[in-house]
Amino acid sequence: MTTKILKEVKAELLKGVTEKGHPFRYCILATIGLENIPRQRTIVLRELGDDLHLNFYTDLRSKKIIHIHENKKVSLLFLHPEKLLQIRVEGLAKIHRDHTTLDKHRKNLQAINKKNFTTSVAPGTIIANPNAVDYLKEADYFCVVEVNPFKIEYLKLEHPNHIRVRFAREGADWAGEYLVP
């Protein structure tokens, strides 16, 4: 029975990547660095692998990358408000900056989005006003972050029973257990 739910998890996450307007296109990424304060932010889910690894794009100079260098354990939270479905992913993050990976993924970006990774100073730097941002022409700080899940939790609010399942990775497989919701 939990196998069917795992299939649903995969299918919904995949829709986040492929279906325009699907709520799983956006998720919340939480990281914890050395200062021990959880930091959350919205990101776009860009790719889902058969093994359930999830990719997103970011700027190599961003705080989330600093956090991942300090602690590669991260969490992703997805919410489908209409289906009352929440998926929580815990995994290990890996930063990709090799040309093969970057060239493959750069193709997915529109020109306007490519610009986001070319600010002359790092994201989060104080500026005088929103126009005071310069963009580099010859360089960018685009990188791909891959999250390899070791735990996935599914929660669906429905009647007569809410359904909560915890999946733990066991080698190439996943073991699922129902939990009290």
Residue type, 110: Q
Rank residues 37 and 172 by Cβ distance to ligand FMN and give the closer one. 37
Distance CA 14, CA 67 (A): 27
| Residues of the shown chain interacting with ligand FMN in the complex, contacts defined by CB under 6 A | 26, 39, 41-44, 56-58, 62-64, 123-124
Rank residues 12 and 62 by Cβ distance to ligand FMN and give the closer one. 62
In the complex, the smallest distance separating the C-beta of residue 60 from ligand FMN, rounded to whole angstroms, is 10
Distance CA 24, CA 10 (A): 11
Rank residues 9 and 119 by Cβ distance to ligand FMN and give the closer one. 119
Rank residues 60 and 155 by Cβ distance to ligand FMN and give the closer one. 60
Q: Print burial letters for 9-41: b (CB count within 10 Å at least 16), e (below 16).
A: beebbbbbbeeeebbbbebebbbebeeeeeeee
Distance CA 109, CA 102 (A): 11
Rank residues 41 and 162 by Cβ distance to ligand FMN and give the closer one. 41
Find, among 170, 15, 171, 3, the residue nearest to 82 by Cα. Answer: 15
In the complex, the smallest distance separating the C-beta of residue 117 from ligand FMN, rounded to whole angstroms, is 9
In the complex, the smallest distance separating the C-beta of residue 35 from ligand FMN, rounded to whole angstroms, is 12
Q: CB–CB of 49/89 below 8 Å?
A: no
In the complex, the smallest distance separating the C-beta of residue 19 from ligand FMN, rounded to whole angstroms, is 16
Residue type, 5: I
In the complex, the smallest distance separating the C-beta of residue 119 from ligand FMN, rounded to whole angstroms, is 12
